[in-house]
Structure 1
């Protein structure tokens, strides 16, 4: 903003505050700890204040007031290059020389563009305060964007929907601040020897009072709705990594990450080389992402650090098959829908065998998920699937020690008996790495 002038005539655009909008502005102002929240409509180069919540008089703002924004800030805001939240204007390059910031003594500034149902710019949703707010975080800018998205859609039940999503936001934010969801660990077992090659870290969530139980998929889906999915996944990964020192040296740790999480901070979490060498990142995404250059750069960097990449739910759709062919994952996880009943269903068995053959071509190891009967385990071996996961082999356990008790994680490596170079029993090769395909090495050892 640069100056505020009372507007006059029919172009002023002053409106009686809509109660739902006023309530949302109040929620936003209190959440960010600001003095004033406002919704302004764009009118040429000006903004016309429509609704406010808070101390408007302190800044000379009220409904109907026309404001001429600073051109640099306004264009940056429209282009999306201005940070949504500037916690301390006095030490920020975008704000330090803006006259109105000094005149009104604005210490913290937050704003984002509001669009209408057709995607056209309606105006600006903003918050200001006299004091800096260094405690504000990146996800607070997402909260601002979340409010803006609701203001864009004039649906009759806006308030009801907002209340539901606001509750989701609070629940997930509390969980993130507390260190993330609880973690359980399920073993991945060498089907021929019973040796544990890895444990997969799985999130577990509490049942909220007066809310239907929605399970991990429901929690992550809700987190996506309110823009916190990456932060929730990163919190779960950080918590899971605490168990790594308790694992036997020959057992790897698997964690789940969406493509958005890979590009939103996973590389910063995985700075320790030793951790990377023992980590499997299972990409949990059912949509095709192999044309996303940023995600692919992230995957390459993970591999460069020694992380193994696993593809999830393979065998259930074209997107998974495309990712298998394009990504060449180190580990291919055969979905439960294929594994379950493949001992009696020739089509499932043929699908599993075909995916094993494809994976072997680029050195990928296959894990059959959801093995629940001895017949399914034997069928997996018959089609040359080396590894399995499921309740027959070990249920999720609250600690890695209990998860490892399901198998023999520290037994001798068959390579040691032949004088061959010792490799970690879980995995090797794959993903375009040098050396013969891992699947071929595994078959030689079993003979």
Structure 2
């Protein structure tokens, strides 16, 4: 170590390592194996040594606490990392350098052992150290090897978390770009009434103008991860609401929304100054609802104003069936996975038939998504499906194209 210099991480995120149970357990193992009073790992941040976790023996009342910090150059950690101190100090009170540091007396350091936690790029993340109040001439290279082995484990964990943090930062930057640079646009897929042989509405679907292209679900999933899910969903809904005036007066507009943004009032604020009587809120299979009674109460004022509720992705999983039973929806949307090749697969037909029977009994409208071929359409007509949506009747398109789009039911 002699002659080396400290290259510190100057802007480290917290990495969610504080109070990490597994790291604390390892500290306890280190302390007990080496028969030390205190073991800790620290992080070097912007010239400061910060204690991130500390393990103490029951008999030792150490002044060290998690979060305490000192200038690196004034610490054992710093001097060990830059080569001024050896990794092992058997008797700090007789050590030429250590005996002059106030911390030796303040913490009652007798014997000390420490190693840097060095990242793959050569930067020193921090240190893994331990000490006891008594001197200890028995500490040797084998003990140092033991400590170094754990330092490598810590390094691997920290680098994994740094990489994760970097990915999260990139997600946040992408989401901010979508919010601030108008990367988000809205396309509209026609919804066709089999009863009236007319387009009766549109589902608004977000699209993102970015290179390389990424599907909308990736954008919304990442936005949720970085705490911007509400902002992105509400932006898409506001944009769709601006376009509703371009649609024919009989057309309804369906928008996708996560239940939490109904529960927290976000959608209520969006609809304060608009007529929502042509709006359909689609709650998806992928969104859990913890308390259906509270959800119904939050939704009630909107339904009184004419907003309709649709259960999306029905048939894709258990949650959609629970939504159907609990929420008294106005519409049930059969998932495209159920519709695909329904004319060839009896099990899909049977499930769709059951849902259609339920809808009839509860005066609920059935919408089939993902309809692509005439054969699927014929089966859905036989089942009594009310509305269809899919590439057969029209792909998602900009509002200017959507309002001009026509479809004629094949004879």
TM-score (norm 1): 0.57
Q: SS of 2:159's equivalent?
A: coil
Matches within 5 A, 1:25-424: 49-50=67-68, 155-179=158-182, 181-208=184-211, 213-264=213-264, 265-274=266-275, 276-289=276-289, 291=291, 293-399=293-399, 401-407=400-406
**Cα offset for 1:393?**
0.3
For 1:194 and 1:217, the matched residues in 2 are separated by: 31
Q: Structure 1 unaligned segments of length 5 or more: list them.
A: 1-16, 26-36, 52-60, 64-152, 410-447
**Cα offset for 1:186?**
0.3
- The answer (yes or no) to whether the contact 1:38–1:49 under 8 Å persists in 2 is no
Q: SS of 1:23's equivalent?
A: coil
Q: Structure 2 unaligned segments of length 5 or more: list them.
A: 1-5, 15-47, 55-61, 73-155
- The answer (yes or no) to whether the contact 1:184–1:203 under 8 Å persists in 2 is yes
Q: SS of 2:298's equivalent?
A: helix
- RMSD between aligned residues: 3.6
Q: 1:393 to 1:367 in 2, by over 3 A?
A: same
**Cα offset for 1:176?**
1.3
- 2:13 equivalent in structure 1: 24
Q: SS of 1:393's equivalent?
A: coil
Q: SS of 2:224's equivalent?
A: helix
Q: SS of 2:170's equivalent?
A: helix
For 1:38 and 1:178, the matched residues in 2 are separated by: 40
Q: SS of 1:242's equivalent?
A: helix
Structure with max Cα Rg: 2
Q: SS of 1:157's equivalent?
A: helix
- 1:144 equivalent in structure 2: none
For 2:375 and 2:220, the matched residues in 1 are separated by: 33
**Cα offset for 1:255?**
0.7
For 1:360 and 1:38, the matched residues in 2 are separated by: 68
- The answer (yes or no) to whether the contact 1:290–1:296 under 8 Å persists in 2 is no
For 2:300 and 2:342, the matched residues in 1 are separated by: 34
TM-score (norm 2): 0.62
